[in-house]
């Protein structure tokens, strides 16, 4: 089984976001970057499937600057066989450009399955994997929490509001991973050492700039400062009173 996993380098979820000098992006100084958490579920699923099949290949593909090599190495350290970096300085905000570049790379790769995280925790587009599927003209299921594959057919479950959809599809397909799909492994020291020697192809790409122009990036308005209504259970009546007559939510 040949599986591709699309991954992205993103700021850590604990990072404090500061606006950059141009007012149109973040100030990256002091920010720790990580492999997008949802992509870790995708990588883990690919490795599990390969292990269960007993043979095959798992390839990670990413898009971005040279710094993304570090992110790809993190996936290689988990056990992925090789990496491809589609190198570009400009990452337009419209996810279609990224999806087109990924689809072009994956189209003739002979992959049985393409896995992605359901969303990247930076731009929250929640789109790239699904777009890749549509561009390749193959089935896709987004935000899956459960997967079964057999004989070129698959069944996936995806959480919807107040329920779980059960979706059948045929391979090849694109699936995007939701938290809960699996427990990603931590790379062992041996894996980290081996990752340094695994192949990582760097291919320059130019992305379609798309039709989205950034006017500005701002911090959200601060919430108005609230108040402590009291201490302990004795403060409960004062809280209820405030919710009823002040906030009017009861």
Partner 1 sequence: MANILVVLEQRDGTLKRVSHEVLTAGRELADSVGGELHAVVLGPESLSTDGLGVYGADKVFATLDARLELYQPSAYLATVAARVNEGDYDAVLLGATALGKDLGPRVAARLLCPFASDVTAIAHDDGIVVSRPVYAGKAVYRLRISGTPCVITVRPNNFAPAESPRAGAVERVALSRDPVANERTVRVKEPDSAALDVSEAPVVVSGGRGLREPENFTLIEDLAAAFGNAAVGASRAVVDAGWRPHSEQVGQTGKTISPSLYVAVGISGAIQHLAGMRTAKVIVAINRDKDAPIFKVADYGIVGDLFEIVPRLTEEIRKIRGN
Angle at Cα 4 formed by Cα 96 and Cα 149, nearest 5°? 110
Residues 5 to 44: which contact partner 1 by CB under 8 A? 11, 13-17, 19, 26, 37-38
Identify which range of 72-80, 81-89, 195-203, 223-231 contacts partner 1 by CB under 8 A.
223-231
Identify which range of 71-79, 83-91, 129-137, 188-196 contacts partner 1 by CB under 8 A.
129-137
Q: Does 130 bind partner 1 (CB under 8 A)?
A: yes
Residues 80 to 119: which contact partner 1 by CB under 8 A? 93-96, 99
Cβ-based neighbour number of residue 107 at 10 Å: 13
Identify which range of 48-56, 58-66, 162-170, 191-199 contacts partner 1 by CB under 8 A.
162-170
User: Could you tell me which of 162, 120, 128, 166 has the C-alpha nearest to residue 147?
Assistant: 166
Identify which range of 62-70, 79-87, 192-200, 241-249 contacts partner 1 by CB under 8 A.
241-249
Identify which range of 67-75, 150-158, 184-192, 193-201 contacts partner 1 by CB under 8 A.
150-158
Q: How far is the CB of 202 from partner 1 (least distance, A)?
A: 26
Q: How far is the CB of 154 from partner 1 (least distance, A)?
A: 10
Nearer to partner 1, 83 or 139 (CB): 139
Three-state SS at 53: helix
Give Rg (Cα) of the chain: 21
Residues in CB range of 105: below 8 A, 6 or more apart: 61, 84, 86, 203
**C-alpha distances in angstroms, 133 versus 102, 128, 147, 208, 234?**
10, 9, 17, 18, 57
Q: How far is the CB of 33 from partner 1 (least distance, A)?
A: 13
- Report the run of H or E that residue 70 belongs to, with start and end: helix 68-78
Residues 163 to 192: which contact partner 1 by CB under 8 A? 163-169, 178-180
Task: Say how far apart CA 244 and CA 38 lie, in whole Å.
Answer: 40
**C-alpha distances in angstroms, 241 versus 40, 54, 150, 191, 225?**
46, 64, 59, 58, 19
Q: Does 215 bind partner 1 (CB under 8 A)?
A: yes
Q: Does 150 bind partner 1 (CB under 8 A)?
A: no
Q: How far is the CB of 187 from partner 1 (least distance, A)?
A: 18
Nearer to partner 1, 55 or 246 (CB): 246
């Amino acid at each position: 089984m040949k599986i591709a996993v699309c991954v992205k380098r993103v700021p850590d979820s604990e990072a404090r976001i500061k606006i950059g000098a141009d007012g149109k992006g973040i100030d990256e100084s002091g920010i720790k970057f990580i492999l997008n958490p949802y992509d870790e579920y995708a990588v883990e699923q690919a490795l599990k499937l390969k292990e269960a099949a007993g043979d095959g290949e798992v390839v990670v593909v990413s898009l971005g600057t040279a710094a993304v090599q570090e992110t790809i190495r993190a996936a290689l350290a988990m056990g992925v066989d090789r990496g491809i970096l589609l190198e570009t300085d400009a990452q337009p905000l419209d996810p279609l450009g990224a999806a087109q570049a990924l689809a072009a790379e994956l189209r003739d790769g002979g992959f049985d399955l393409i896995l992605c995280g359901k969303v990247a925790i930076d731009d929250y587009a929640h789109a790239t994997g699904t777009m890749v599927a549509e561009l390749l003209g193959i089935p896709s299921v987004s935000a899956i929490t459960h997967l079964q594959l057999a004989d070129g057919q698959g069944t996936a479950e995806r959480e919807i509001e107040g329920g779980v959809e059960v979706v059948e599809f045929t391979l090849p397909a694109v699936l995007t991973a939701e938290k809960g799909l699996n427990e990603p492994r931590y790379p062992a020291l041996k894996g980290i050492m081996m990752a340094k020697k695994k192949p990582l192809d760097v291919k320059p790409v130019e992305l379609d700039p798309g039709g989205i122009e950034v006017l500005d990036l701002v911090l959200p308005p601060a919430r108005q400062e609230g108040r402590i209504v009291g201490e302990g259970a004795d403060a409960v009546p004062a809280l209820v009173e405030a919710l009823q007559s002040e906030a009017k939510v009861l």
